[in-house]
Amino acid sequence: MARAVARDYYEVLGIGRDASPQEIKSAYRKVAVQHHPDKNPGDQQAEERFKEAAEAYSVLSDPEKRARYDRFGHQGVGGAGGPTIDPAAFTDFADLFGDLFGFGDLFGGRRRGGPAATPGADLRYDLEISFEEAAFGCKRQIEVPRLETCAECTGSGARRGTSPSPCPACGGRGQVRFSQGFLTVARTCPQCRGEGRVVRDPCSACRGEGRVEKRRSLEVQIPAGVDDGARLRLSGEGEHGRQGGPRGDLYVVLEVAPHERFVREGHHVHSEVAVSYSQAVLGAPLAVPTLHGEEELDLPPGTQPGQEFRLRGLGVPRLGGSGRGDHVVHVRLEVPKAGELSDERLDLLRRLAELEGSEVKGDRSVLDRVKELFS
């Protein structure tokens, strides 16, 4: 139905009269997406704006019509109400929308028959590895269940010697059409699920699905330096596609088991070393376990509890082979528990407490000893 007053087509699309074909196309895309009926269900004003934009684009995108419009206005392209839009003309606009709303289906711009090739799904496999395997890399064998093309029917889903038939509901197009206001809308056929064909005599191996589940054995190469949560992509090792579609990918997600002695922070490794009071005060050579074997640490005199020492280059290798992190040693003062010391060691500790002027449990104070000395 024509409008009583037609707006200027350049104003409808929000462009100047010297706009290039590409600017006209971009402006139409913006306006049409904003006011499309699927985004504004029941909004008559939005539907009218969408139709108005389509009408403007149908004129301004055609050099001959645009020239007539520029010279004579609406009268030059169909009268005061503008040109009449044939619903079939909207098939020319499908390329404007791409996959924004699936408008390839909406405007009938989808395939014109034949089964649609669909890609296979991506798969995920969770793999637990040890702390050392993550640090140095390794090879692991895994077994992955996935859907593969049926060898019996080569993916057609039909019994050998037969073939699928065109879908009676959509005539093999994979789509059914119906009117929605001023548009002719195409939707996926519910009977054949968009494939445009039906299997009347299904394959016994896959029961008409065209794919069967199989277990695939794969060797996974885990590089040195990976961390917990890292994802390894194995291209093409996911499920097989339908009707010749590409295979999906397999993502191996790594779970690194905790270590009994080491804690990882990026490419650095942390560990604790317990020292006695005498070692902390006097200093001592210590054998420190690292990922790369035992390393000697020269503990300096007067080391404090919680003090850190860094062993350069003895951490986790960096991905790509650009060196290694460090091993950080945290000093912990080890205090013997009651009952673990001999009488001799207890006497020595009491003597040390006297020299320090420290009062300790189970012993006389220094002042008592002085009084006894002069009595």
Question: Length of the chain in residues, anyone?
Answer: 375
For residue 201, is pLDDT > 80? Answer: yes
Which are the contacts of 169, defined by CB distance < 8 A and separation ≥ 6? 176, 189, 190, 191, 192
Confidence of residue 78 (pLDDT cuts 50, 70, 90): low
Task: Identify whether 269 is part of a domain.
Answer: yes
**Residue 273 sits in the same domain as residue 315:** yes
**Residue 81 sits in the same domain as residue 13:** yes
- Region 195-201 average pLDDT: 86
Of residues 217 and 179, which shows the higher confidence score? 217
Task: Identify whether 14 is part of a domain.
Answer: yes
Alpha carbon distances (Å) from 220 to 115, 143, 247, 254 = 35, 10, 18, 11
- Region 350-366 average pLDDT: 73
Tell me what the pLDDT averaged over the chain comes to: 83
For residue 3, is pLDDT > 50? Answer: no
Angle between helix 44-60 and 63-72 (nearest 10): 100
**Residue 236 sits in the same domain as residue 140:** yes
**Residue 29 sits in the same domain as residue 56:** yes
**Residue 133 sits in the same domain as residue 217:** yes
Domain that holds residue 228: 115-158+207-258
Tell me the C-alpha distance between 265 and 286, whole Å. Answer: 23
Residue whose structure tokens are 């945290």: 330
Task: Identify whether 126 is part of a domain.
Answer: yes
**Residue 85 sits in the same domain as residue 186:** no
Task: Identify whether 2 is part of a domain.
Answer: no
95-103 contacts at long range (C-beta below 8 A, 24 or more positions apart) = 96/25, 96/28, 96/29, 96/32, 97/29, 97/32, 97/33, 100/33, 101/33, 101/36, 101/38, 101/39
Which percentage of the chain shows pLDDT scores above 70?
A: 83
Q: What is the pLDDT of residues 103-137, one digit of tens each?
A: 444 444 444 445 567 889 999 999 999 999 999 99
Number of domains in the chain: 5
User: Are 153 and 159 a contacting pair, CB within 8 Å?
Assistant: yes
For residue 180, is pLDDT > 70? Answer: no
Q: What is the pLDDT of residues 206-259, one digit of tens each?
A: 998 899 999 999 999 999 999 999 999 999 999 999 877 899 999 999 999 999
Tell me the C-alpha distance between 137 and 176, whole Å. Answer: 54
For residue 171, is pLDDT > 70? Answer: yes
Q: What is the pLDDT of residue 320?
A: 79
**Residue 68 sits in the same domain as residue 29:** yes
Which percentage of the chain shows pLDDT scores above 90?
A: 46
**Residue 70 sits in the same domain as residue 43:** yes
